[in-house]
């Protein structure tokens, strides 16, 4: 069985906790749409959402860990963020043991995942795990998806690990305090594996337990939510491919027909600096397309001229 595990930011460290819960609900809708229903989900949080009874396959675990920052702001410093995420995920891993999981997938509480993940992972119970190397970036409320290579280096919804590789780090009482976790857990594992995602690939490769690339685009990194720590991606959602019906069903993402007016209206809402950057990108593409078109006309004309001369 595959068990999905996530942590939710402290209510104090959010611009709007209602928005945080709304984003989490969308993510859970995505996960619970798996074609293979042999999975479970664990959400570790400081406040149980009101919709907790809707999801039969989701356990909500409440912890009393302190907020990583005393400022009511979603942009907390990196180390505090990793500490909060890492300690909460460890609690989630301990809780997962009761489901006898073969693998754990960590996910961020505002992204979307493919409904094919559980079916694929459950077919290979002995594998060390996988990395989501191919995925998409989506600007919240926008109409397009941008393909994202090396997805696992940018987004935390990208790590699947065999549970046996994690068990040696889970020797704690049933309800450990955050202080206990910080004292007894290897800091490299806590901060760089549970709290982060950029060093996971190298960590398991160096320990001779390499993770394989998942052979299909398996997640959507949702940015510009106002509640994630990720840097604003600006044009994410203005350039890319449409959200097709197929993608909508696979990732439980709203299907939208994209019109020119929608793109223009969205572009006008962006900051001036981004509008200028976008204009330059579009101008470059138009220039390159015009150059290719004129070159093609010239080559065709040249070939016709040579052919005519040969015939005569």
- The reported pLDDT for the residue numbered 174 is 78
For the domain bounded by 2-251, which CATH number is listed? 3.90.550
- The reported pLDDT for the residue numbered 254 is 81
- DSSP bridge partners of 138: 222
Q: Are the C-beta atoms of residues 266 and 143 closer than 8 Å to each other?
A: yes
Average pLDDT over residues 122-131: 98
Please give the structure tokens belonging to residue 284: 């470059």
- The reported pLDDT for the residue numbered 232 is 46
What's the pLDDT band for 102 if we cut at 50, 70, 90?
A: very high
- The reported pLDDT for the residue numbered 77 is 84
Q: Are the C-beta atoms of residues 27 and 112 closer than 8 Å to each other?
A: yes
- The reported pLDDT for the residue numbered 310 is 60
Rounded alpha-carbon distances, angstroms, from residue 281 to 120, 232, 238, 287, 289: 38, 18, 12, 10, 12
Average pLDDT over residues 235-248: 78
Taking the C-alpha atoms of residue 170 and residue 187, their distance in angstroms, rounded to an integer, is 13
Length of the chain in residues, anyone? 312
Average pLDDT over residues 207-231: 87
What does the CA dihedral 93, 49, 12, 111 come to, rounded to 10 degrees?
Answer: 60
Q: Are the C-beta atoms of residues 84 and 12 closer than 8 Å to each other?
A: no
Q: Torsions phi, psi of 4, nearest 5?
A: -90, 135
What's the pLDDT band for 90 if we cut at 50, 70, 90?
A: very high
Angle at 211 between CA 208 and CA 215, to 5 degrees: 150
Average pLDDT over residues 185-206: 94
Tell me the domain boundaries of the chain: 2-251, 271-311
Q: Are the C-beta atoms of residues 35 and 27 closer than 8 Å to each other?
A: no
Q: Could you tell me which residue, 123 or 145, shows the higher pLDDT?
A: 123
């Amino acid at each position: 069985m595959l068990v999905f595990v996530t942590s939710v930011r402290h209510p104090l460290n959010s611009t709007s906790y209602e928005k945080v819960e709304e984003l989490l609900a969308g993510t859970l809708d995505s996960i619970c749409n798996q074609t293979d229903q042999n999975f479970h989900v664990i959400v570790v949080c400081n406040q149980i959402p009101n919709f907790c009874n809707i999801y039969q396959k989701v356990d909500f675990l409440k912890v009393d860990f302190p907020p990583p920052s005393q400022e009511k702001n979603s942009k907390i410093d990196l180390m505090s963020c990793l500490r909060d995420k890492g300690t909460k995920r460890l609690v989630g891993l301990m809780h997962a043991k009761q489901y006898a999981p073969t693998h754990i997938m960590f996910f961020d509480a505002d992204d979307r995942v493919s409904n094919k993940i559980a079916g694929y992972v459950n077919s290979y119970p002995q594998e060390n795990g996988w990395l989501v190397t191919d995925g998409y970036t989506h600007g919240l409320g926008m109409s397009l998806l941008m393909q994202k290579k090396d997805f696992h280096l940018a987004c935390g919804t990208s790590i699947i690990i065999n549970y046996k590789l994690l068990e040696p780090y889970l020797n704690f009482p049933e309800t450990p305090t955050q202080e206990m976790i910080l004292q007894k857990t290897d800091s490299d594992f806590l901060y760089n594996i549970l709290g982060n995602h950029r060093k996971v690939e190298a960590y398991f490769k160096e320990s001779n337990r390499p993770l394989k690339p998942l052979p299909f685009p398996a997640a959507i990194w949702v940015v510009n939510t106002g509640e994630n720590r990720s840097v604003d991606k600006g044009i994410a959602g203005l350039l890319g491919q449409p959200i097709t019906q197929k993608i909508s069903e696979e990732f439980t993402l709203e299907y939208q027909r994209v019109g020119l007016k929608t793109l223009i209206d969205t572009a006008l809402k962006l900051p001036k600096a981004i509008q200028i950057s976008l204009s330059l990108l579009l101008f470059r593409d138009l220039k390159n397309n015009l150059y290719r078109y004129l070159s093609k006309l010239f080559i065709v004309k040249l070939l016709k001229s040579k052919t005519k001369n040969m015939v005569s």
